[in-house]
Copies of this chain bind each other. A is one copy, B any other.
Amino acid sequence: MATATDKVLDHIDSHLDKSVERLFSLLRIPSISTDSAFAPEVRRAAEFVAEDVRTIGFEASVHDTPGHPAVVGHARGGKRPHVLFYGHYDVQPVDPLHLWEFPPFEPRLVEIAPGRKVIRARGACDDKGQMMTFIEACRAWKAATGSLPVDVSLLLEGEEENGSESLPAVIKANRKALKADHVFVCDSGQWDRETPAITISLRGMFHEEIVVRTADRDLHSGTFGGAANNAIRVLSRAVADLHDKDGRIAIPGFYKGVKELPKAIYSDWKKLNLTAKKLLGPIGLSLPAGEKGRMVIEQIASRPTCDVNGIWGGYQGEGVKTVIPNEAHAKVSFRLAAGQHPETIQKLFRAFVKKRIPKDCSVAFINTKWTTPANVTWNSDLVTRARAALTEEWGKKAVLMGQGGSIPIVKDFKETLGVDPLLVGFGLKDDRVHAPNEKYDLSSFHKGIRSWARILGAMAE
């Protein structure tokens, strides 16, 4: 006899077109959270999502915040396990726009290889597509069996790409209603296309913009060149010095508190044998740029890192302008490992940069944002059940892996609700997340929905 989960999986398979259609409607909303010009679109996305989950039977409301609104929903039945799901419907900016194959908010289904279809649009993976895998799983349970197998609450936000600053207050204000037995988060990746994964550590993030000022005006290099300092020259020095020759971050004290991996995880990771060629080949590179002597999987997943995300100053137009620029900017961000504290990193970073600013020049630090790194329990009953469900769906044992990116809100679930979240996601390395031509494999979306349907079923057992 077919189990309830089997019925749900059949329903998912036969209604995939409708699921894709709903995702496309959400992808058409340009909900860029880091650019205030798009604030009305983020709100539109919130209202769209709230309305959508109401059709599955959720009581849903849009919560105003000092930033972008959040959506809270509940579908409670009674004395059953209570699951809280987190996802986000805001997206990254889309520039450089000219590199997109077609407009980023006009989603299309594209066949990129024989039999391999992908959903292409900004947010296709991060995180609209991923968020909808869970919502579609709930919809299928409701449609195929008349009800959800467990109590489900939703916490969906519109500020993740901008640091989730407003969400902790929403969690606190709804602490009682959101207090669940389990928290599920769908904003992470798989090990590879065939192998599912559960993420067990998340790096934190520290971001600041350096603004260097030299003279009180732009100067002509023919009049002052040689004698007058140049803001780009000063800034480049500070930025170049952030890394030493061995790929280590050269800020004194930066690595203090960073722990080595648990031995069991280290040896699991080593067995995975992720080579530089395998990781970097598909993106056109071959030489790891991180800390010498570390496995590349450590470089991307567990070790702290530093990247300059943007730099600008002086003349950027056509032709030649022999100007000595008096101002230059760089956006610098760090991925932090558990054991590092953003406040300390800020102090060390600023001191390091200031040391490289000549006495007659100045530096300012703006656009400060950070999230604290988090570790997630990796040997709980919840992880074991989810791992079994994923393994059943994919036919390959789910990997316990570290994630390089940060999901700002994870630490708040732990601190405010006292619950360790379970991080399961279906993103792939080639999804072009945050870049032009972002995509989400149709199979990621489909099997993602099926995976959540199985995990929800397993929670009810």
Residue of B nearest to A289 (CB): B229
For residue A296, which residues in chain B have a CB less than 8 angstroms away from its CB?
Answer: 227
Q: A93-B317, A329-B316, A434-B321 are in contact. Are A283 and B429 (CB under 8 A)?
A: no
Copies in the complex: 2
A286, B241: Cα distance in complex, Å: 25
Interface-forming stretch among A5-13, A106-114, A138-146, A232-240? A232-240
| CB pair B237 A240 closer than 8 Å | yes
A219, B434: Cα distance in complex, Å: 7
Partner of A286, one of B220, B299, B305, B360: B360
A357, B301: Cα distance in complex, Å: 25
Q: A433-B220, A434-B218 are in contact. Are A320 and B331 (CB under 8 A)?
A: yes
Answer whether residue A170 sits at the interface, using C-beta atoms and an 8 A cutoff: no
Residue of B nearest to A36 (CB): B318
For residue A322, which residues in chain B have a CB less than 8 angstroms away from its CB?
Answer: 205, 207, 307, 309, 333, 405, 434
- In this complex, the member of A219, A315, A358, A405 whose beta carbon has the largest number of chain B beta carbons within 10 angstroms is A315
Q: How far is the CB of A438 from the nearest CB of chain B, in Å?
A: 10
Interface-forming stretch among A22-30, A52-60, A209-217? A209-217
| CB pair A285 B232 closer than 8 Å | no
| CB pair A228 B285 closer than 8 Å | yes
- In this complex, the member of A235, A324, A361 whose beta carbon has the largest number of chain B beta carbons within 10 angstroms is A324
For residue A284, which residues in chain B have a CB less than 8 angstroms away from its CB?
Answer: 215-217, 360
For residue A305, which residues in chain B have a CB less than 8 angstroms away from its CB?
Answer: 221, 225-226
| CB pair B280 A228 closer than 8 Å | yes
| CB pair B217 A300 closer than 8 Å | no
A6, B92: Cα distance in complex, Å: 71
Residue of B nearest to A330 (CB): B232
| CB pair A300 B95 closer than 8 Å | no
Q: Which residues of chain A from 299 to 340 have a CB within 8 Å of any chain B CB?
A: 299-300, 303, 305, 307-325, 328-331, 333, 335
Answer whether residue A223 sits at the interface, using C-beta atoms and an 8 A cutoff: yes
Residue of B nearest to A403 (CB): B222
Residue of B nearest to A231 (CB): B308
A126, B369: Cα distance in complex, Å: 44
Partner of A313, one of B300, B311, B317: B311
Q: A216-B284, A225-B307 are in contact. Are A236 and B233 (CB under 8 A)?
A: no
Residues of chain A whose beta carbon lies under 8 Å from any beta carbon of chain B: 34-36, 92-93, 95, 126, 161-163, 189, 203, 205, 207, 214-230, 232-233, 235-237, 239-243, 276, 279-280, 283-291, 296, 299-300, 303, 305, 307-325, 328-331, 333, 335, 358-361, 367, 369, 403-406, 429, 432-437
